[in-house]
Chains A and B, each alone.
Chain A
Amino acid sequence: GESVGLHLPTLSVQEGDNSIINCAYSNSASDYFIWYKQESGKGPQFIIDIRSNMDKRQGQRVTVLLNKTVKHLSLQIAATQPGDSAVYFCAEILNFGNEKLTFGTGTRLTIIP
């Protein structure tokens, strides 16, 4: 029979433009959040993290915003490049000392040359 898979949200962005990927997390008690990038045929790769006592953190071309009121996380990628095309996952940890990550379903980002 036909299998029903997860419907990955998709986002297409023109090269050089900025992109915003959103994530709604599930547990209001989660203490720590991470964004991962997964390119085709590879394992996920750490991008940036943020603790629950922060609302913004910046890295190289990436910024993560955390809104605990609505349990929302976003990843902003500035000046997108073809190499940014991938599936992006947010992950949450209940307690900072806990190693157990719970991953979201992911968003597929495609950069249009």
Chain B
Amino acid sequence: DAGVIQSPRHEVTEMGQEVTLRCKPISGHDYLFWYRQTMMRGLELLIYFNNNVPIDDSGMPEDRFSAKMPNASFSTLKIQPSEPRDSAVYFCASSSSSGRRNEQFFGPGTRLTVL
């Protein structure tokens, strides 16, 4: 099992540019989560999906952030326009409602640096 796959692993961009982070959840998982981790705020949930439908996006910082899940095997988190304060490690995680409840499997993360 490949686990949760995220790309890119590292992204360096300039302020104002659009950034797209990608995630492939574990096959068969019906929940997908996007988290952000910073030294200032720790690990925060941004949004999560169930069966490709967004359930809770209350953690999304502002309108510059958007997330989509067009199918069960792919999700994107987009930041447009990016700002230096968006610099963080972004994690995608997935879980299964038929597995151990609330056991979320995390990907390796994408380290985003906005200059």
- Contact B55–A43 (Cβ < 8 Å): no
Contact B42 A46 (CB under 8 A): no
A89 touches B102 (CB 8 A): no
Distance in Å from the Cβ of A90 to the closest Cβ of chain B? 11
Q: Which residues of the other chain, B, contact A32 by a CB distance below 8 angstroms?
A: 101-102
The number of chain A residues with a CB under 8 A from chain B is 24
Interface residues of B in 92-109 (CB under 8 A from A): 93, 95, 100-109
What is the chain A residue whose CB lies nearest that of B89? A43
Total B residues in contact with A, Cβ cutoff 8 Å: 28
Which residues of A from 1 to 47 have beta carbons under 8 Å from B? Answer: 3-6, 32, 34, 41-46
A24 to B42, CA, bound (A): 15
**A-contact 0/1 string along B56-94, CB 8 Å cutoff:** 100000000000000000000000000000000001010
Secondary structure of the A contact surface, majority rule: loop
* Docked pose: A39 CA to B70 CA in angstroms: 31
Instruction: Knowing A43-B93, A99-B50, say if A34 contacts B102 (CB, 8 Å).
Output: yes
Contact A46 B91 (CB under 8 A): no
A101 to B39, CA, bound (A): 18
Task: Determine the residue in chain A with the shortest Cβ distance to B9.
Answer: A41
Across the interface, B42 reaches (CB within 8 A) one of A49, A100, A106, namely: A106
Please state if A100 and B48 are interface contacts (CB–CB under 8 Å): yes
Produce 1/0 per residue, A93-112, CB < 8 A to B.
10010011111111000000
5 tightest A-B contacts by CB? A43-B106, A5-B39, A103-B43, A46-B103, A44-B106
Instruction: Give me the interface of A with B, judged by CB distance under 8 Å.
Output: 3-6, 32, 34, 41-46, 49, 89, 93, 96, 99-106
For this complex, 8 residue pairs linking A to B, each with C-beta atoms less than 8 Å apart, are A6-B40, A42-B106, A42-B108, A42-B109, A43-B109, A46-B100, A46-B103, A104-B42
